[in-house]
């Protein structure tokens, strides 16, 4: 590598903010977390989202949800493909981030970005197919045409996986929004900045603002407000055990939320085929049955 | 008569200063017990309104029931008044019997006010006879902008007389008066002519109640009180949809007029969607969890 010329200018560092309603606001709390690389070197100060940021994100998600669900499945599919395109065009940055910040080997970083792109495209393909596969016409003993079809649950809070900073987030988010849900992802692991990098990908993918909102911070701080928020229809929970599951379940039961706990794959291998399935779409759809007189 | 009218001398309004002062009220931090008390006060000050062409007796009944019991527990006051079109007054009278919720009706050919004075006064008289406790009138903005200030004065005075015991709120439709100086002058004319309340807007034009406009009107009320000792009420209407906005208005009233005006007798919000947002905040305070308007009745 050629010797670096003496730099005449100051580097401009990126400020990592939250992603709410298609904007990048700072946390209203003014608090931050310091993110370091796997070796302990400073990366950035990251927003430590508060319950009010979560509240704002739910408002944004609620506003966006019906419009997103009202898009044609084919259009949602196109937007998923566009996300894949955008991630592909920025893959160098993500590979570098995974290596420098999270300590991945080059091979592992490339594999994670590959898998993330492929997963977006893969779920994009399901947008106009899962209704056909999971919906049904039902034989009934009356002169009715009776059919059942899945519809999105609504606003879903996702307590995102604590491993695989890029692929974990994509894996948790894609099956939620493909059906027309809007989601608030709460990211709590050591490399939160990568989630915000990914928000920039979403931001330029024709994805309407508010469909995906990304917050970074401490999960346990907001847990009660996430599971008790009455305008949240469902909670997708990754990497929670014992007491945490219990408290989420108790709070959520109060407002009859749909809660789904995902089992973390062995050694957090999100590229495994078990982490990608049309059945991942099912926990957050509601089945509607209609009776149509013949 | 009109020719003899002496236009009141009012100070000019510094637009920049008014805007800046009004913006300052958005910086107050109202939390915990003060917030809880403020939210309940806001509920008690709301003129729960429905003024649509599609209003039906059923919708007005539903609104009245919401006014009587905004939420399904007792820890919440009733609203200040229900505000409807004159034909709906008998429905409201029936529904609100036995409560101390007032019935406000918009009259004088709301929202345009484009009719002869006789027709408008006649409508007021009939509406009061139907049982309205408060009349919200509109001034003739056309006449005001044409400089016929005497006509505005005579109009308000005539309507006030027709109101009898009913309270009179005068809608200036500030969005159509354009300048703060016009708003200040119109406020003064309405007060001089006997308005019990002055009100910003009908809610039917592009620009409704804003903080600076309300501030200009509150200052007119303050100066009038300083001079004469007579209190006049204020009602911003249109565009106030969130509890946060409403609390800012309360801060403005307190700091401009003082505690005496922090009562439904002297300050009202003309609003329809505000109530649900305030109820959501009240529930947040009560339960500690964020609420959703899906748990509240519509309107």
pLDDT band at A1 (very low <50, low <70, confident <90, very high): very low
pLDDT band at B228 (very low <50, low <70, confident <90, very high): very high
Sheet of strand A212-216, all strands in order from the earlier edge strand to the far edge: A212-216, A182-187, A155-159, A234-238, A258-262
B209 close to B241: Cβ distance less than 8 angstroms: no
Catalytic residue among B35, B66, B169, B235, which? B235
Mean residue pLDDT across chain A: 95
Please tell me the distance from the alpha carbon of residue B288 to that of residue A46, in angstroms, as a whole number. 27
pLDDT band at A273 (very low <50, low <70, confident <90, very high): confident
| Domain spans, chain A | 32-267
Q: What's CA B280's distance to the chain center, in Å?
A: 22
A231 neighbourhood in chain B, CB within 8 Å:
290-294
pLDDT over 80 (residue A214): yes
A55 neighbourhood in chain B, CB within 8 Å:
290
Q: Is B291 at the interface with chain A, CB within 8 A?
A: yes
Q: Is B29 at the interface with chain A, CB within 8 A?
A: no
B288 neighbourhood in chain A, CB within 8 Å:
228
Catalytic-residue membership of B136: yes
Please give the pLDDT value at position B298: 80
Catalytic residue among B133, B136, B196, B277, which? B136
pLDDT band at A285 (very low <50, low <70, confident <90, very high): very high
Please give the pLDDT value at position A7: 73
Please give the pLDDT value at position A134: 97
pLDDT digits (tens, 9 = 90+) for A61-117: 999 999 999 999 999 999 999 999 999 999 999 999 999 999 999 999 999 999 999
Q: Which fold has domain B2-7+14-295?
A: TIM Barrel (3.20.20)
pLDDT digits (tens, 9 = 90+) for A23-56: 999 999 999 999 999 999 999 999 999 999 999 9
Please tell me the distance from the alpha carbon of residue A193 to that of residue A167, in angstroms, as a whole number. 14
Please give the pLDDT value at position A2: 53
| Domain spans, chain B | 2-7+14-295
Higher pLDDT, B219 or A274: B219
A32-267 CATH: 3.40.605.10
Closest residue by Cα to residue A115 from A68, A67, A39, A168 = A168
Sequence-ordered list of residues with C-beta below 8 angstroms from that of A196, at least 6 positions apart, any chain: A16, A17, A18, A19, A24, A46, A214, A216
Please tell me the distance from the alpha carbon of residue A204 to that of residue A87, in angstroms, as a whole number. 10
Please give the pLDDT value at position A80: 98
Arithmetic mean of pLDDT, B133-155 = 96
From residue B96, alpha-carbon distances to A108, A124, B104, B106, B231 in Å are: 71, 56, 12, 18, 28
Arithmetic mean of pLDDT, B255-272 = 96
pLDDT over 60 (residue A3): no
Token reading at A37: 């690389």
pLDDT digits (tens, 9 = 90+) for B99-125: 999 999 999 999 999 999 999 999 999
pLDDT band at B299 (very low <50, low <70, confident <90, very high): low
């Amino acid at each position: 590598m050629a010797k670096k010329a003496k730099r005449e200018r100051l580097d401009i560092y990126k400020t990592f903010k939250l992603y709410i309603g298609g904007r990048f606001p700072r946390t209203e709390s003014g608090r931050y977390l310091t993110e370091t690389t796997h070796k302990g070197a400073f990366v950035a100060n990251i927003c430590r989202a508060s319950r009010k940021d979560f509240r704002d994100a739910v408002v944004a998600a609620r506003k966006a949800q019906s419009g997103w669900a009202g898009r044609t499945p084919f259009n949602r599919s196109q937007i998923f493909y566009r996300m894949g395109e955008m991630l592909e065009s920025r893959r160098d940055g993500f590979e570098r981030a995974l290596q420098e910040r999270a300590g991945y080997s080059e091979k592992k970083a490339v594999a994670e970005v590959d898998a993330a792109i492929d997963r977006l495209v893969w779920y994009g393909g399901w947008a106009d197919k899962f209704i056909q596969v999971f919906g049904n016409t039902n034989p009934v003993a009356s002169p009715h045409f009776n059919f059942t079809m899945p519809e999105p649950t609504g606003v879903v809070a996702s307590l995102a996986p604590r491993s695989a900073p890029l692929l974990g987030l994509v894996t948790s988010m894609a099956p939620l929004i493909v059906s027309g849900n809007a989601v608030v992802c709460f990211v709590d692991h050591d490399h939160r900045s990568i989630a915000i990098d990914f928000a920039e990908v979403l931001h330029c993918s024709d994805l309407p603002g508010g469909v995906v909102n990304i917050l970074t911070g401490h999960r346990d701080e907001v847990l009660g407000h996430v599971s008790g928020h009455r305008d949240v229809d469902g909670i997708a929970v990754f990497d929670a055990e014992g007491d945490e599951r219990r408290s989420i379940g108790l709070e959520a039961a109060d407002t009859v939320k749909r809660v789904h706990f995902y089992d973390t794959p062995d050694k957090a291998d999100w590229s495994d085929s078990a982490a990608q399935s049309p059945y991942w779409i099912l926990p957050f759809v509601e089945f509607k049955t209609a009776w149509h007189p013949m | 008569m009109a020719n003899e009218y002496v236009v009141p001398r009012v100070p000019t309004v510094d637009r920049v200063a008014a805007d800046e002062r009004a913006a300052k009220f958005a910086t107050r931090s109202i939390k915990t017990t003060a917030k809880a008390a403020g939210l309940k006060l806001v509920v008690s000050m709301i003129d729960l309104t429905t003024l649509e062409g599609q209003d039906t007796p059923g919708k007005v009944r539903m609104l009245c029931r919401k006014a009587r019991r905004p939420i399904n527990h007792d820890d919440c006051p009733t609203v200040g008044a229900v505000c409807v079109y004159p034909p709906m007054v008998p429905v409201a009278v029936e529904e609100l019997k036995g409560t101390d919720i007032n019935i406000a009706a918009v009259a004088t050919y709301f929202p345009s006010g484009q009719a002869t004075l006789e027709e408008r006064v006649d409508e007021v008289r009939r509406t009061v006879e139907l049982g309205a406790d408060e009349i919200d009138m509109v001034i003739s903005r056309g006449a005001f902008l044409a400089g016929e200030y005497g006509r505005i004065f005579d109009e308000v005075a005539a309507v006030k007389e027709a109101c009898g015991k009913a309270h009179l709120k005068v809608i200036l439709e500030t969005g159509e008066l354009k300048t703060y100086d016009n708003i200040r002058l119109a406020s003064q004319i309405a007060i001089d002519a006997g308005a019990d309340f002055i009100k910003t807007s009908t809610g039917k034009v592009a620009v409704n109640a804003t903080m600076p406009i309300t501030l200009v009107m509150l200052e007119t009320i303050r100066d009038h009180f300083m001079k004469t000792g007579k209190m006049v009420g204020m009602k911003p209407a249109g565009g106030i949809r969130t509890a946060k906005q409403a609390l800012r208005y309360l801060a403005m009233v307190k700091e401009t007029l003082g505690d005496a005006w922090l009562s439904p007798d002297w300050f009202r919000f003309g609003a329809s969607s505000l109530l649900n947002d305030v109820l959501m905040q009240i529930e947040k305070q009560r339960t500690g969890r964020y609420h959703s308007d899906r748990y509240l009745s519509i309107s």
